[in-house]
Amino acid sequence: MNRPIAILLIVLIIVGLLFSTFALFQGKFVEALLVYPLLITVYIFSRHGKR
């Protein structure tokens, strides 16, 4: 994985965690958990590009 993609993944993970934490404090459990499958999908596509 090259450096720009790694930085992008780190930023997306931080934003996802912040959004999830904010949504959980508001009581929106479903919205908080919808972020994680999207992060896994982005990670899979970033790893697939390396092959």
For residue range 28-45, list pLDDT tens digits in order. Answer: 999 888 888 888 888 888
Neighbours of 20 (CB within 10 A): 19
Mean pLDDT of 9-33: 91
* Structural domain span for residue 21: 3-48
pLDDT for the residue numbered 50: 60
pTM (2 d.p.): 0.72
pLDDT band at 51 (very low <50, low <70, confident <90, very high): low
**Residue 1 pLDDT greater than 80, yes or no:** no
Q: Looking at the 3D structure of the chain, how many domains does it have? A: 1
Instruction: Write out the two tokens for 24.
Output: 């959980």
User: What 3-state class would DSSP assign to 45?
Assistant: helix
